[in-house]
Amino acid sequence: MDAMSCVGCRFLNLSKEQEEHIIQRHFRRRDWQDIDPGESFFHKSISPEEIFRELLMIPRFQLRGSWGRRSRFVYHYGFNIDVGVFPKQHGPTRTTKRVEIVCACVQCPVCRVHPPTEIVTVYPVH
């Protein structure tokens, strides 16, 4: 059975544990000037609930994706508003409308295929 034809595989999943990880790691309420090199975080104008609600409603086939580091699958998604900031290696911090969604491949309880559906983390990217 094709994973995209299975209702259980069509959308991304997010556990409460991973929600907490994302909130603690990427929703820090700091000034943009205080961002550490290599870090990115969501802006105060968008709540974790808004991010999660939006991402979990998108059918997987509408997301652009590719294999990332550590055998994780990475999707990218663009919002209509600035959602966060990310540091430039040699320059000022920038705002962004895009997020990176890092997923693990988990076995679907319905079709037993291992699609990349379990969200590991989400953060703003350029």
Average pLDDT per run of 10 along the chain, which is 126 residues long?
69 92 76 58 83 92 85 91 75 80 88 88 88
Residue 84 confidence (pLDDT) = 85
Domain boundaries, position 45: 3-125
Residue 1 confidence (pLDDT) = 45
CA dihedral in degrees (59, 12, 49, 99; nearest 10)? -80
Total tally of structural domains belonging to the chain:
1
Cα angle 81-41-93, degrees, rounded to a multiple of 5:
80
Residue 46 confidence (pLDDT) = 83
